Structure 1
Amino acid sequence: MSTALAIPSLAPGAVTALAARHARASEEAACLHREVAAALPATGFARHFVPSRWGGRAGGFAELVGAVAAVGEACASTAWCCALLAGHARLAAHLPERAQAELWADSPDTAIAAAVVPPSGRLTRAPGGWRLTGRWAWASGVEHADWVLLATLDEQPAGPPAYRILLLPRRDIRVHRTWDSIGLRGTGSHTVTVDDAFVPRHRSCLRDILMTGVPEADAAPCHRVPYTLVAPLLFCAPALGAARGALDAWTTLVRERGASGESGAPHTLARCSADVDAAALLLEAAARRADQAALTPPAAFAPETTARNGRDASVAVDLLTGAVGQLFRTAGMRALTPESPLQRAWRDIHVVGAHASLRPEPAAAAYAAMAFRA
């Protein structure tokens, strides 16, 4: 009988109450409240995709989407940071073994921030690695991170530059508090700069491996799928939670003002709740496809799965945005106050929907190219 300890599952409840309590304070500070940030290690998000040899879960995508959405019902900014804690660790699992040991030898709960799209900065070769200087925007959660992944172009003697991902300790990064968005304000997606920092060779990998997955046969399933297959799921999951939270807030407001029987209220409730449920079904199906693809040998991976997942995530965020918009329009003046979770959800979900990975036009084009080719 094995004596290994069971690795606990994701625990979104460890942070949801705090996230709800401090949502407005996180917005005002443009980063997660310190109590919320301090509670994140207990949730298991940071270790969800960490390889098991470092004490991580090497977990699945369906479980993660559900857990992120659960946090999003309380605070979409916290949910966004939870999704990226997991997602950035999955990216870091593509780094060489030595870099992984630096990240996780002491704990699988290391917090990693990232700014990998688009590449930026200037890279120059140095003995044993490179020197990096530059400026990167939208590094969500960077103020609470231990390490940061940054992307830059590595000029080659011949041919096009290589798209390189580099890992730097937080001490090599300077944070500029530039994040002032209409929504997801608590994510602290600030700009970072690096001034001639040395990056050893083992703290780097090419983006190509993120697009194909870890090639080793013994890699965990969650590390063998391409970034483009799963990124839309992770970015859309906070919107699902925000929409569910908005639906609850709207129902409470309508009930409190005694308007549940008014003309239009039943139709709004039925239609918006159905749209939220439909979006959830799309994301759940996409997450199941991702988990199934993770069990498939890389050589047998079907690119059509990526096109379907991109389609479903972009349609899901459209459904969620439309539902929350209808709820907001019909909720009355009390929904407009700064402390209203409904107006915060309305702002947050529009920012989620603006993310490049959820844009409908590229998703539709990729799906159509696959469908028409067949």
Structure 2
Amino acid sequence: MLARVQALQPLFRNNAEAARTERKVPSENIQALQDAGFFLALQPARWGGAEVDPQCFFQMQMAIAEACMSTAWASGIVAVHAFQLALMDPRAQEDVWGDDIHTRVSSSYAPMGKVEPVEGGFRFSGRWGWSSGCDHCTWVLLGGILPDGTYRTFLLPKSDYRIEDTWHSMGLQGTGSNDIVVEDAFVPDYRTHKQSDGFAGTNPGVSSDSAELYHMPWAQLFIRVVSTPAIGAARDALAQYCALVKGKASGDITKLAQDTGTQMRIARARNSIEEMSSVMLSNFDTMMETLRRGEKIEIDDRILYRFQASLVIEKSIEVVDSLFSSAGGSSVFVGSQIQQRFLDIHTARAHVANNPTSFARNLGATQLGAGNGDFFV
């Protein structure tokens, strides 16, 4: 599957301008990823899925991001919803995949929903932003807080919401992260996912017979899907930088060899990129090994992994800023590839999951003996 996805990089590069212009991932990219099996990567086998390990999934997302971060961001978010749906009541899975295993779901997890409990479920209304890839989906997962203060994700079909075209952004222009509007829709109780189930591993769609993958805490996958694309984009920014510098030196490598500033930028960038990738892959290696032993992942580890995921964007910003600052005059013109990586990574920082402040405080506090204050870990 990874080889199939890597083979699509030229297509994604060729379609990058169309993604920016249309402000959404081109349908050709989506179809190519579906044909490659990407959207089935985390889907249960009983619904035609591949049940790949998370580290394999994120290697694919990084490969997509090297060619187009917008495609990686939106398609990765859409694909990870198959994992969350697998945690939900089997009736919800039947609603979505019963007629077509390729049915896609978008999301917006901010707790913007107005929730009114009624018999059999909830009346649900609200407006949510940043629903990446929503134009290619026919279902949506939306966040809301119940009157008792608990958080749930609500699953709705296209007939219960509308998309409003609001995505005019400085970067990640091709993600199509438009607004979702819901007006007094009924959501049956079985089409909701409790945050407490995702945290404690008491998900109604998971049993002792389920693959180890689905015993992974839900948050550990989602937090990585909005940071990992930056690693692939930073890797491509480094490649773009090297090409630009070689061009300025007229291909004379001896000129570059004498420039210690250039050497240090490249060395530090390469090290940071490999470090971020290695930490992410190692975390998932460790978690999957733990689950295969039939053990639970310790909360202290989950808190640490949460913080490490939140650092990826800031580390990627350091990389791309260092490279962009010395990439030369051509980098400032519209259409510059390294400029696009700069804009994309900085835009990703606006996502709440990529702000490390609260996650650093939680990690530090728990190391000093305080209780965990984050239930999305």
> Please, what TM-score do these two structures have when normalized by structure 1?
0.89
Check whether the contact 1:29–1:186 (CA below 8 A) recurs between aligned residues.
yes
Check whether the contact 1:78–1:187 (CA below 8 A) recurs between aligned residues.
yes
Question: Which of 135, 142, 146 is the equivalent residue of 2:134?
Answer: 142
Q: Is 1:343 aligned to residue 339 of structure 2?
A: yes
Question: Which of 1, 4, 21 is the equivalent residue of 1:11?
Answer: 4
- 1:276 paired residue number: 273
1:182 partner letter: M
The CA distance in 2 between the partners of 1:110 and 1:25, in whole Å, is 24
- 2:166 paired residue number: 178
- How far has the Cα of 1:198 moved from its partner? 2.7
- How far has the Cα of 1:344 moved from its partner? 0.6
Check whether the contact 1:45–1:85 (CA below 8 A) recurs between aligned residues.
no
- 1:246 paired residue number: 237
Distance 1:29 1:137, change over 3 A: same
Q: Is 1:313 aligned to residue 309 of structure 2?
A: yes
The CA distance in 2 between the partners of 1:319 and 1:194, in whole Å, is 37
Question: Which of 74, 79, 87 is the equivalent residue of 2:80?
Answer: 87
- 2:34 paired residue number: 41
Distance 1:267 1:163, change over 3 A: closer
Question: Which of 228, 237, 242 is the equivalent residue of 2:219?
Answer: 228
Percent of pairs with identical residues: 29
| Worse-superposed segment, 245-254 or 256-265 | 256-265
Q: What do residues 238-270 of structure 1 show as CA deviations (whole Å, max 9, x unaligned)?
A: 000000110111111111222652432222222
2:142 partner letter: L
Question: Which of 350, 357, 360 is the equivalent residue of 2:353?
Answer: 357
- 2:43 paired residue number: 50
Indicate the SS of the match to 2:101: coil
Distance 1:355 1:288, change over 3 A: farther
The CA distance in 2 between the partners of 1:134 and 1:41, in whole Å, is 31
Q: Is 1:368 aligned to residue 364 of structure 2?
A: yes
Check whether the contact 1:121–1:152 (CA below 8 A) recurs between aligned residues.
yes
Check whether the contact 2:317–2:346 (CA below 8 A) recurs between aligned residues.
yes
Distance 1:124 1:367, change over 3 A: closer
The CA distance in 1 between the partners of 2:308 and 2:293, in whole Å, is 21
- How far has the Cα of 1:329 moved from its partner? 0.6
Q: CA RMSD of the aligned region, Å?
A: 2.2
1:283 partner letter: M
2:356 partner letter: P
Indicate the SS of the match to 1:283: helix
The CA distance in 2 between the partners of 1:220 and 1:21, in whole Å, is 38
Distance 1:290 1:186, change over 3 A: farther
- How far has the Cα of 1:9 moved from its partner? 6.1
The CA distance in 2 between the partners of 1:234 and 1:129, in whole Å, is 30
- The residue correspondences of 1:209-224 to structure 2 (distance < 5 A) are 209-213=197-201, 214=203, 216-224=207-215
The CA distance in 2 between the partners of 1:9 and 1:258, in whole Å, is 35
Distance 1:124 1:316, change over 3 A: closer
- The residue correspondences of 1:58-77 to structure 2 (distance < 5 A) are 58-77=51-70
Distance 1:366 1:231, change over 3 A: farther
Structure 2 unmatched runs, 5+: 371-377
Distance 1:195 1:310, change over 3 A: same
Q: Is 1:266 aligned to residue 233 of structure 2?
A: no
1:191 partner letter: D
Distance 1:372 1:122, change over 3 A: closer
- The residue correspondences of 1:324-335 to structure 2 (distance < 5 A) are 324-335=320-331
- How far has the Cα of 1:125 moved from its partner? 4.2
Indicate the SS of the match to 1:12: helix
Q: What do residues 249-300 of structure 1 show as CA deviations (whole Å, max 9, x unaligned)?
A: 11111112226524322222222222222222222222223323443546x3
- 2:286 paired residue number: 289
Distance 1:60 1:138, change over 3 A: same
The CA distance in 2 between the partners of 1:289 and 1:353, in whole Å, is 27
Indicate the SS of the match to 1:373: coil
- How far has the Cα of 1:73 moved from its partner? 0.3
The CA distance in 1 between the partners of 2:291 and 2:225, in whole Å, is 16
The CA distance in 1 between the partners of 2:118 and 2:85, in whole Å, is 23
- 2:375 paired residue number: none
What is the total number of aligned residue pairs between the two structures? 361
- 2:189 paired residue number: 201
Q: What do residues 5-26 of structure 1 show as CA deviations (whole Å, max 9, x unaligned)?
A: xxx6673235422221121221
The CA distance in 1 between the partners of 2:47 and 2:3, in whole Å, is 17
1:102 partner letter: D
Indicate the SS of the match to 1:120: strand
The CA distance in 2 between the partners of 1:233 and 1:135, in whole Å, is 25
| Worse-superposed segment, 334-343 or 360-369 | 360-369
Indicate the SS of the match to 2:344: helix
The CA distance in 1 between the partners of 2:270 and 2:221, in whole Å, is 25
